[in-house]
Amino acid sequence: MKKYRFINLMIIPFVFLWSCNAIYENGKEMAASSQTRIDQISVAELNEKMLGEEEFHLIDVRQPKELKKGYINQDFDYDDYLEPVNIPRGLLEFRIADAGFWENYYEELPEKESTEIIVYCKSGGRSALAAETLMQLGYKKVKSLSGGYNAWNPDHGDAAVKEESSGCGG
């Protein structure tokens, strides 16, 4: 009996340590890991795609407050204006397949097999996590903008956006 107890005491810590190899210290470490498993697109490639005839969904996964500071294609005059769809990272899993949500943007619901989706955030971390999440949900053609909005517009700064008051204290 003591022999089995000794073996169990040796095996349990080994199994515990072996199973913990996917625990991350923080979100940056997790995002860096995601970046190794997703496809990325450069600013030059995205700009080329936007000037071309290819159809794709451009999703900004930053918070609405961040979007007010600027977004991709904000100042460019395209014939077919492509404005990013804002789906904050924390809501992506719930809104990506919501047809009603996409109707508000006058866009069609992305098809899992055929729709190309490009996601971006401020610097590429949240969009890497978002791209990996979309792939886990079955979307096949997903890319993250390498370097995020900072790479698209390095001169944007982080100027604070003046909050509009509703007159009700908020």
For 141-166, what is each residue's pLDDT tens digit? 999 999 999 999 988 766 544 444 33
Q: Tokens 């407050």 belong to which residue?
A: 65
Q: Tokens 């700009």 belong to which residue?
A: 47
HSE toward the beta carbon, residue 41, CA cutoff 13 A: 25
Say what the pLDDT of residue 10 is.
55
Looking at domain 38-152, its CATH architecture is 3-Layer(aba) Sandwich (3.40)
pLDDT band at 77 (very low <50, low <70, confident <90, very high): low
User: Torsion over CA of 117, 137, 70 and 126, rounded to 10 degrees?
Assistant: -120
Say what the pLDDT of residue 134 is.
98
Secondary structure of 21-73 in HEC code, one letter for each residue:
CCCCCCHHHHHHHHHCCCEEECHHHHHHHHHCCCCCEEEECCCHHHHCCCCCC
The mean of the pLDDT values for the chain is 83
Q: Is it the case that residue 40 has pLDDT exceeding 50?
A: yes
pLDDT band at 52 (very low <50, low <70, confident <90, very high): confident
pLDDT band at 2 (very low <50, low <70, confident <90, very high): low
pLDDT band at 27 (very low <50, low <70, confident <90, very high): confident
Say what the pLDDT of residue 170 is.
33
pLDDT band at 1 (very low <50, low <70, confident <90, very high): low
Q: Is it the case that residue 56 has pLDDT exceeding 60?
A: yes
Which whole number is the average pLDDT over 17-30?
A: 74
pLDDT band at 29 (very low <50, low <70, confident <90, very high): very high
Say what the pLDDT of residue 165 is.
37
Apex 105 CA angle, 123 and 147, nearest 5 = 10
Residues 149, 70 contacting (CB under 8 angstroms):
yes
Which residue type occupies 119? V
d(CA 58, CA 67): 13
| pTM, entire model | 0.78
Say what the pLDDT of residue 112 is.
97
Mark out the alpha helices in 52-154 (DSSP H runs): 64-67, 92-95, 99-104, 125-136, 148-152
